[in-house]
Amino acid sequence: MTELSIFIFATVGLTMIVVRSGMFRPFREAVSKADNWARRPRKTKYLLKTIGKLTKFVVGVLNCELCFSFWGGMILYYINSQDCSHIMIIFGLISSGVTYLYTKIINNLDGTSCKK
């Protein structure tokens, strides 16, 4: 039970630091600029199309608390246990659900919204 609570706190903390903090804002903006560069209209080659899809995915994950907590929970579970099974997805869903509840509680206390 202690390991699960440490895992949840670590995932929620990591998510809030990466998605909401000002410390990672330059990184998120740099990835967004790379996404804009990759989406510019041109005679695209296969590599540029792939880069465009990858940067779109990364920008989406870095700006969405639920997306980042899901992937972050899966990665933290894998780092902790070195087990790549269906349980990894369950831990991703658990961390995403707890992050959702945490975000709703904080937004109600602050009177803010995570929608921009």
Where do runs of H (alpha helix) occur along the chain?
A: 2-20, 25-38, 46-63, 65-81, 86-110
pLDDT tens per residue, range 16-55:
888 888 888 888 788 777 766 666 665 656 666 666 677 7
The tokens describing 60, both together, are 């989406």
Whether the pTM exceeds 0.95: the reply is no
